[in-house]
Structure 1
Amino acid sequence: MIKFFKSLYLHQRFFYIVFGLSILFLVSYWYKPLYSFAWLAVLAFFLLFIADVIALYKTKAFKAERVLPEKFSNSDSNPVILKLKNEYASQISVEIIDEIPVQFQKRDFLKKITLKAKAQQTSEYSLRPVKRGVYTFGKLNCYISTKLQLAKRRYIFQDQQEVKVYPSFIQMKQYDFLAIDNRISQLGLKKIRRIGHTMEFEQIKEYVQGDDIRTINWKATAKHRDLMVNQYQDEKSQPIYSLIDTSRVMKMPFEELKLVDYAINSTLAFSNIALKKNDKVGMLTFSHQIKNFLTANSKKTYLHTIMETLYNIDSKFLDSNFSLLYAHIQRKITQRSLLLLYTNFEHISALKRQLPYLKAIAKKHVLVVIFFENTELENLLNYEADKIAEVYEQTIAHQFKNEKEMMVKELQKHGIQSILTPPKDLTVNTINKYLEIKSRGLL
């Protein structure tokens, strides 16, 4: 009996009718013949309500299932599928309230669906997580009502269903095609002019515009009467490391996603490309100490190890220790490697403090320092200032922007590669730089 009353709810129409009956009784105070009619209406309403409740509880004839993917992709839209099955002999209306994980802070979820008799239907909605970790779904509440819509019966399904949010594997798959041919271009991806090559011969082919004239094969040209060039394979199995700064400078959020998570998503997508091009990939994270160090490896299954490591990165957001990073690289990364350093500098003075360590690392390795534009400043710079305070704010914003450009020049002056990028373009710009370095034979 307790379960019955816990699952029984009154429909909104029920209260509308009760309100109408109250008005009817009120009017009957002045118009006496209406009083008897009001009681007949109450009796009819009561019988209809009882019939509606019996129709709902006569049998347990509704099923619902929440279907979650194996894992969620961080910062992407992830589908959640709801499968509904009506086993009632008549049409029903379904109100679905899914208890979405607390991380989304979404308390207004409601879907309304009409199901015909003995029908099945699938509904879908999407969620965009911005934090890695375990997300727990609560109850899937379904409120069923018949055509009378006087009462509702609540069904509860799948309480405490969990899903893990991993670094963006959807973004990784979007750029997967670049592993096939680094000359393929997509909107937002730069075409790379090939400057150098290795000595591993692949084939002789006809000359096309853009080929290096130094590779012309004159003997083959004389034989075919057309310009022929030697084509060489890219050098493979080169060690490449992603160095992720997890200090407080990477805590700043853009579009709800922290800079450290942008770096993690980029590392996963980039590592996939590098592995498919037969390079060795490794990674480490650092702040006040070194964590999560993975030695460079070229096994295809290594991507799963990288993904699990990236998923488990714990950011304490303390100050970073670049001297410790330099010492670890000296000790653990002995072969000349491509090092992609994901960090952030807001002031030129912050860069100059770390510059001696960056220069020391760049002596033995190809170092690419990746840091971020403050895209929030763009809105401020494009705003038409009317007040003196707003002019001051724009002046400071210009100063911050100029300092970022000065950092790029400062790094170039010391022979250090750099990428200054908006957070949302991090992955594509990192892949572009990798393809450029490979094409120019800098490693």
Structure 2
Amino acid sequence: MISFFRFNLIIFASVIVSVLLLSLLDLLFSPNRKQLTLERSLPKQVERHQEESLRLIITNKGDKPAQFIWTDDLPESISTTRPTLTTIEANQTLTIDQPVQANQRGLFPIKNVYLRYQSLFGLWQKQRMFVIENTIKVIPNLSESRDYLSSAQKYLLHEGSKIRKQVSGSGEFAKVRQYVVGDDPRKINWHQSAKLNEMMVNEYEPEHGKQIIIMIDCGRMMGVELEKGNRLERSIEAALTVATAALDHGDYVSVVAFAKDINVYVPPGKGLSHLQTILQAIYSLKVEATESNYLAAVQFIRTEQTKRSMVILFSDVNQFFLDKQTLFLIKQLKKRHLFIGIGIKDEWKQRNIALQPNSIYEAMRKTVAQQIELSNRREMLKWKNLGLDLIEAKADNLAVTTVSYYIDQLNRGVL
């Protein structure tokens, strides 16, 4: 009995020793921490909801292969996927493209990469932290701006808008002069020709570009969540699209972002290079938990811009109907400028208007939504009769609706 016990003890001890030897051997054949290096590169800026890649370059300077996993300190607003267990051979460099998609605008610091690698048989794991300080700049999605630049007419096609060529004789009238060979017959001033008994033509100063002011409301009502982002997110993207259209057309564009105070002011500029100035100024705008101060915004515009301009305000137009002071302020603004208010349709209201009620509760919701819609339409008609345009569009059509209005006003020559 005792000999049998000793025999089992010897076997047990042999197993323990074998495992320890195997473990030490496995540790001996695992790479040293200093033999693994890691570098990370990333784009200067990424667009919201556009997939980009962070590049990791991992080098194994040792003479033994390694299996590893890694993680990092990306913010929760940036979604990503990482491979599971990855193998890097001895004296090799491995390049990994890590897909990322940002869901929120702003400037986000990232610092650490944590690399955990295991030995050949997986009995040992080592971890190393690489401190690599980077920042990810997340800008608004510019896909609609690119769509406009690639084909403006195709972009506006489903809205029924058509970009017309500039009418001959446009621009500010300068003087009447004698007709010379080569003048456009459409510029002949028949009244002066008959009066002076010689052919006279109108002369115009060349078109110097219209003035476009884009106002972006950052007050609390712009924080209402939509299916994709919130009202402010979609308004910023639409504002950049209409800025692209205006700058591409040769107009001057300025931007005013406000809530309780004026948050951002971009002075008028011309040319598509000015779009980058606008983008860098507004990419980090946030919704503020305060009411919008329209008085301060209107007074600021009246002070800064004395030339007649098209003022495009991105806001929640429904709150205009609750404050008579806003109507008074906008009427004062219209004395010099052409005004339009652009808002996003209430998704809850639209869903309930389209509802096929199967209960009293659903019927009540549908009725309330219809009453709100009728009330808003009456208020919009009231503003329309005062020469003030208010437009609501679905979130996905906000940019194209705004650009269509801008093109329509140019075609009509009302600015």
Normalised TM-score (structure 2): 0.77
**Maintained 8 Å contact 2:223/2:232:** yes
- Aligned residue among 341, 366, 372 for 1:369: 341
Whether 2:157 is the aligned partner of 1:185: answer no
- Aligned residue among 35, 42, 45 for 1:71: 45
The residue identity in structure 2 corresponding to 1:264 is I
- Aligned residue among 339, 344, 356 for 2:316: 344
- Aligned residue among 109, 122, 131 for 1:149: 122
Post-superposition offset of 1:350: 2.2
Whether 2:231 is the aligned partner of 1:259: answer yes
Residue by residue over 1:71-113, the C-alpha shift from the partner in whole angstroms, topping out at 9 and shown as x without a partner, is 2334544432323334444543221111112555x7x965324
Whether 2:131 is the aligned partner of 1:158: answer yes
2-structure distance, mates of 1:442, 1:313: 32
2-structure distance, mates of 1:399, 1:55: 76
**Maintained 8 Å contact 2:321/2:379:** no
**Maintained 8 Å contact 2:30/2:65:** no
**Maintained 8 Å contact 2:156/2:162:** no
1-structure distance, mates of 2:53, 2:379: 41
Whether 2:102 is the aligned partner of 1:128: answer yes
Whether 2:392 is the aligned partner of 1:423: answer no
Post-superposition offset of 1:151: 1.6
Q: Percent identity?
A: 17
2-structure distance, mates of 1:51, 1:322: 74
Residue by residue over 1:300-347, the C-alpha shift from the partner in whole angstroms, topping out at 9 and shown as x without a partner, is 543333223213546534222334433333333222211111110336
Normalised TM-score (structure 1): 0.73
Post-superposition offset of 1:131: 3.5
2-structure distance, mates of 1:33, 1:216: 119
2-structure distance, mates of 1:171, 1:40: 71
Residue by residue over 1:398-418, the C-alpha shift from the partner in whole angstroms, topping out at 9 and shown as x without a partner, is 334444444443333333333
Partner-residue secondary structure (3-state), 1:428: helix
1-structure distance, mates of 2:381, 2:109: 47
**Alignment map for 1:324-343 (pairs within 5 Å):** 324-343=296-315
The residue identity in structure 2 corresponding to 1:273 is A
2-structure distance, mates of 1:378, 1:83: 50
**Maintained 8 Å contact 2:320/2:326:** no
2-structure distance, mates of 1:152, 1:169: 44
Post-superposition offset of 1:70: 0.9
Residue by residue over 1:241-292, the C-alpha shift from the partner in whole angstroms, topping out at 9 and shown as x without a partner, is 1011222222222246332232223223322332222111111123334443
Partner-residue secondary structure (3-state), 2:414: coil
360-369 or 36-45: bigger deviation? 36-45
Which residue is equivalent to 1:21? none
**Maintained 8 Å contact 1:75/1:128:** yes
2-structure distance, mates of 1:59, 1:75: 37
In the alignment of these two chains, the number of paired residues is 378
Partner-residue secondary structure (3-state), 1:64: strand
Which structure 1 residue ranges, 5 or more long, are not aligned? 1-29, 202-214, 218-233
2-structure distance, mates of 1:78, 1:35: 60
1-structure distance, mates of 2:28, 2:259: 64
320-329 or 192-201: bigger deviation? 192-201
**Maintained 8 Å contact 1:77/1:127:** yes
2-structure distance, mates of 1:216, 1:156: 78
2-structure distance, mates of 1:282, 1:151: 61
**Maintained 8 Å contact 2:317/2:342:** no
**Alignment map for 1:353-432 (pairs within 5 Å):** 353-380=325-352, 385-432=357-404
Whether 2:411 is the aligned partner of 1:442: answer no
Post-superposition offset of 1:379: 4.5
Which residue is equivalent to 1:114? 86
Change over 3 Å in CA distance of 1:289–1:50 after alignment to 2: same
Which residue is equivalent to 1:226? none
Which residue is equivalent to 1:96? 70
Which residue is equivalent to 1:211? none
Change over 3 Å in CA distance of 1:437–1:137 after alignment to 2: same
Change over 3 Å in CA distance of 1:397–1:188 after alignment to 2: farther
Whether 2:17 is the aligned partner of 1:48: answer no
The residue identity in structure 2 corresponding to 1:82 is L
417-426 or 343-352: bigger deviation? 343-352
1-structure distance, mates of 2:160, 2:368: 36
The residue identity in structure 1 corresponding to 2:55 is I
Post-superposition offset of 1:126: 1.0
**Alignment map for 1:152-231 (pairs within 5 Å):** 152-169=125-142, 171-178=144-151, 182=152, 184-186=153-155, 190-193=159-162, 197-200=166-169
Post-superposition offset of 1:60: 3.2
**Maintained 8 Å contact 1:271/1:303:** yes
120-129 or 337-346: bigger deviation? 120-129
1-structure distance, mates of 2:7, 2:399: 79
- Aligned residue among 138, 143, 146 for 2:111: 138
**Maintained 8 Å contact 1:97/1:111:** no
240-249 or 419-428: bigger deviation? 419-428
1-structure distance, mates of 2:55, 2:401: 34
Residue by residue over 1:378-435, the C-alpha shift from the partner in whole angstroms, topping out at 9 and shown as x without a partner, is 4455566554334333333333444444444333333333331223332232222222
Post-superposition offset of 1:216: 12
Post-superposition offset of 1:175: 3.3
Whether 2:213 is the aligned partner of 1:244: answer no
